[in-house]
Structure formats: structure tokens, C-alpha cells
Amino acid sequence: MAETPRVELTAAAADLLRRLRAAHGPLMFHQSGGCCDGSAPMCYPDGEFRTGDSDVLLASLDVAGVAEPVRFWMSKSQFEVWSHTRLIVDVVEGRGSGFSLEAPEGVRFLIRSRLVGT
């Protein structure tokens, strides 16, 4: 039986990542778990956000049309809260964080979740 991925992308999120990759090069996500924008996944050029011992690498996402995996990091404290869920990265209209690469596109990444095993 194949293991359910910890993090997955909707078709809309994968499409946006292809566009962002073409404009900005290799990408990464980080979700800090802070209030407001910190609770959303933030997309950065790979390596621009420094990760460390307080972060967990949840996935290296393979995106069709993107040469390298897109790594998805989360703060350990946030992972403790989300550890029982499967994270689904989606895209919705609206303004996200000014620091995340999709902000000028008029959309923002959003996490949807399901309990592990569902």
C-alpha cells in the first residue's frame, strides 16, 4: 500500500508554481504558524528563507514542468499542531503576504487539510 503524501498540490497550485518558477527560478515553501500571513504557506526563491533546527522538511514536491523539487518546510511548533493532517496546497483569489512570490499575481497560497488516513 502506497503511503499518502504528507503534502500535495492542487492543479491550480501546480500551475502557479510553474509560472513562478519561470519568473524566479527554483522555489521553496515555508509555513511558520504565526498569526495572519504566518499561518499560510509562503513561497520564496529556494534558499532565500533560511531554515534551521526549528524547522521540519515535510516534502520535496515534484511538479510537472518544474526541473527540481519544491521543498515544503514548516516550523516544528506548527508541525506539532498539523502532524495528524495531510496538507493540500491550493490557490485562492486575494492578497496574501507581500513577502510571498505570488502576492503580485492577485492570488495567495492556502492550506487545506485532511486527517491522515482519510
| Euclidean distance between CA atoms 53 and 75, whole angstroms | 9
Question: Is 23 part of any domain?
Answer: yes
Domain with 64 in it: 7-114
Number of domains in the chain: 1
Question: Is 36 part of any domain?
Answer: yes
pLDDT at 36 over 80: no
Residue 74: its pLDDT value, please? 94
| Euclidean distance between CA atoms 16 and 36, whole angstroms | 22
Residues comprising the chain, all counted: 118
Question: Is 1 part of any domain?
Answer: no
Instruction: Output the nine-digit C-alpha cell for 81.
Output: 499542531
Question: Is 21 part of any domain?
Answer: yes
| Euclidean distance between CA atoms 70 and 62, whole angstroms | 7
Residue 71: its pLDDT value, please? 98
Higher pLDDT, 41 or 3: 41
Residue 9: phi and psi, rounded to 5, are -120, 145
**Which CATH number belongs to the domain containing residue 110 in this structure?**
2.60.300
Question: Is 12 part of any domain?
Answer: yes
Q: What is the pLDDT of residues 55-112, one digit of tens each?
A: 999 999 999 999 999 999 999 998 988 888 999 999 999 876 678 999 999 999 999 9
Question: Is 2 part of any domain?
Answer: no
